[in-house]
Every structure is written in structure tokens, then in C-alpha cells.
């Protein structure tokens, strides 16, 4: 087996290993929250139900005039919670299409009570509804209701955190009736910066490794390989720094930076690979950077937040 075939096999195995990384990461990631829990404290004795109010437009595809559920008959008579629309906030239970709510207040522990939303038997279906709340209807209020579904009190507005790898949100919201405050239980992910650093080193190593293997396919040896290594280390470090510094979208930054990398690396190689034809240098620059780009974009689908 000649050196070209060996290098090609190594490059293919290398790419397959990279493609398997996100699957390994996903398989070992902690399970996300699948529903929203509203924890209530210091509530009045006549509070029997608690509903989630979300900011939603009547023209929204998920808005309905009245959502039938196990509480519908009683609530339709009272009308208080069903008709609530102050500030564009509407009842999640009675105006969100196919809402899954358990608004009957249950005693959880001592002075702590709770209700839940988006909790159902079909985990995947209601996980989608839960994610929809976080990403599209995250402006919320809490309404306390009496046994006839009349409104006792409505909290101040709060905002659910959008999904992010930097923060952990386990679906817990805390409403204190006496203080009329909502607290969202979010925590900085203690492993985020470590994982981000490891991911950065990993992506740089993969990109550089792919270009080294491609260089072997083109027959580059010894000092030429060292040049490829140094050039790609510098370009990758500069590119990653610019990704964090520039204010543009990932797509725009990628297009601009990659064009610059293609051009700069071509002229650097042309200067140092004096015994190599211009056509071969151009071919290597295009192939190596394209392989590196595709691997980087694939990994960024999983590591960007």
C-alpha cells in the first residue's frame, strides 16, 4: 500500500471520528427539564388554583379563543381568568393551543406549594411545548385563583431564560405572594467554561490535523509539513479570537474569515513552497481549507450556543 492510500485512509478515519463526537457528547449530556414548575409561597387561604400568563398575540398560530381541558367548564362560568388580557398577557391554560397544565395547587413542603405546566405522558411532544415557552413566549406572570377561578392576584412580569449552554435552568419558577415577586432559578453551568475551552482546543486540533493529513495526501514532507502546521495554528487561533470579537452572525463571519484564510494561506505557501507548482499549492489550499471548514461547521452545530 503506497503512502497516498495510507494517508487517505487515515484522513477518512479521522473524519469519521470527528463525526461521532457530537453523538458521544449528546449521549452523555444530562437530561433537560421537560416541564415548568411554579413554586408558590405565602399564598392566601382562598387560593386554589394558579395559572401561567404568557405574552402572546391573538394572531399567533398557538393562540386559541378557548382551550378545552379538565378545568374548562368551571373556568368558562367564572370568565375572570379566561378574559384576562392586561398588557397582552393571556392564560396559558385556556388560550395556548393544546396546553398541558396542572393548575390545582398542591402542597409540596411546609409553606411551599406548586403547580406545573407542559407536563404530559408524551415526553417528546410536551418537551417541544416547554421549549416553545422558553424561546418564544418567555414573558410570564403568575395568577392566583380562587375555587371559582376568579383572580385573586397577578404577579409582576418576569422573563424565562432562553436555552443556553452557559446557564442551567431546571424549569423552576418561584412566586412569593407577600412580596409579589417572581424568581427564576438559573445557575451558571460550572462546566461551561471548561467544556468551552476543551471544545476550542479540540476544534483547533481537528482543523489543523485535517490540513496536515491533507498535506500528506499531496506529498508534502518534512519542512513543508512544519510550515503547514505553523500556518494553520496561527490562522486557527486568530480566527477563533475574531469569532468572539466580531459582532456579526456566525455565517457572515465564517464567509469573510474563510475567504481571507484561503487567500492568505495560498500566498504564504507560495512564498515558502518554492519548488512546488502554483497549481498544486492552489489545489492544496482549496482542498485542505474546505475539509477543515466542513469539519468546523459540523462541530459548531453542537458547540455553539
Q: Are strands 158-159 and 101-109 parallel, antiparallel or unpaired?
A: unpaired
* Beta strands per DSSP E along 147-256: 151-154, 158-159, 167-176, 181-188
Cell output for 156: 409582576
- Of 16-30, 58-72, 98-112, 191-205, the one with minimum mean pLDDT is 16-30
Query: ∠ at Cα 127 (126, 131), nearest 5°?
Result: 115
Please give the Cα distance from 26 to 38 (Å, whole number). Answer: 28
Give pTM, 2 decimals: 0.58
pLDDT of residue 25: 45
Mean pLDDT of 48-69: 92
Please give the Cα distance from 171 to 173 (Å, whole number). Answer: 7
Q: Are strands 36-41 and 112-117 parallel, antiparallel or unpaired?
A: antiparallel
Q: Is the pLDDT of residue 7 over 60?
A: no
Cell output for 95: 388560550
Amino acid at each position: 500500500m503506497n503512502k497516498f492510500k495510507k494517508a487517505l485512509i487515515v484522513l477518512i478515519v479521522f473524519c469519521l471520528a470527528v463525526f461521532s463526537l457530537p453523538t458521544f457528547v449528546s449521549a452523555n449530556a444530562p437530561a433537560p427539564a421537560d416541564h415548568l414548575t411554579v413554586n408558590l409561597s405565602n399564598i392566601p387561604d382562598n387560593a386554589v388554583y394558579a395559572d401561567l400568563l404568557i405574552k402572546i398575540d391573538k394572531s399567533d398560530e398557538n393562540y386559541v379563543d378557548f382551550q378545552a381541558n379538565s378545568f374548562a367548564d368551571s373556568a368558562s362560568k367564572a370568565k375572570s381568568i379566561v378574559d384576562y388580557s392586561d398588557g397582552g398577557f393571556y392564560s396559558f391554560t385556556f388560550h395556548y393551543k393544546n396546553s398541558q397544565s396542572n393548575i390545582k395547587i398542591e402542597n409540596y413542603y411546609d409553606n411551599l406549594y406548586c403547580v406545573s405546566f407542559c407536563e404530559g405522558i408524551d415526553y417528546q411532544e410536551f418537551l417541544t411545548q416547554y421549549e416553545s415557552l422558553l424561546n418564544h413566549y418567555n414573558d410570564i406572570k403568575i395568577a392566583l385563583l380562587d375555587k371559582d377561578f376568579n383572580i385573586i392576584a397577578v404577579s409582576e412580569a418576569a422573563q424565562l431564560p432562553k436555552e443556553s449552554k452557559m446557564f442551567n435552568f431546571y424549569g423552576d419558577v418561584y412566586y412569593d405572594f407577600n412580596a409579589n415577586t417572581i424568581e427564576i432559578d438559573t445557575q451558571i453551568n460550572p462546566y461551561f467554561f471548561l467544556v468551552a475551552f476543551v471544545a476550542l482546543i479540540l476544534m483547533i486540533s481537528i482543523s489543523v490535523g485535517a490540513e496536515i493529513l491533507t498535506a500528506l495526501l499531496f506529498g508534502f514532507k518534512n519542512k513543508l509539513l512544519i510550515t503547514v502546521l505553523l500556518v494553520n495554528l496561527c490562522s486557527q487561533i486568530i480566527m477563533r479570537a475574531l469569532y468572539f470579537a466580531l459582532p456579526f452572525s456566525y455565517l457572515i463571519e465564517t464567509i469573510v474569515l474563510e475567504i481571507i484564510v484561503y487567500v492568505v494561506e495560498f500566498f504564504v505557501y507560495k512564498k515558502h513552497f518554492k519548488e512546488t507548482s502554483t497549481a498544486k499549492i492552489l489545489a492544496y489550499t482549496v482542498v485542505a481549507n474546505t475539509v477543515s471548514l466542513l469539519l468546523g461547521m459540523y462541530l459548531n452545530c453542537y458547540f455553539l450556543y
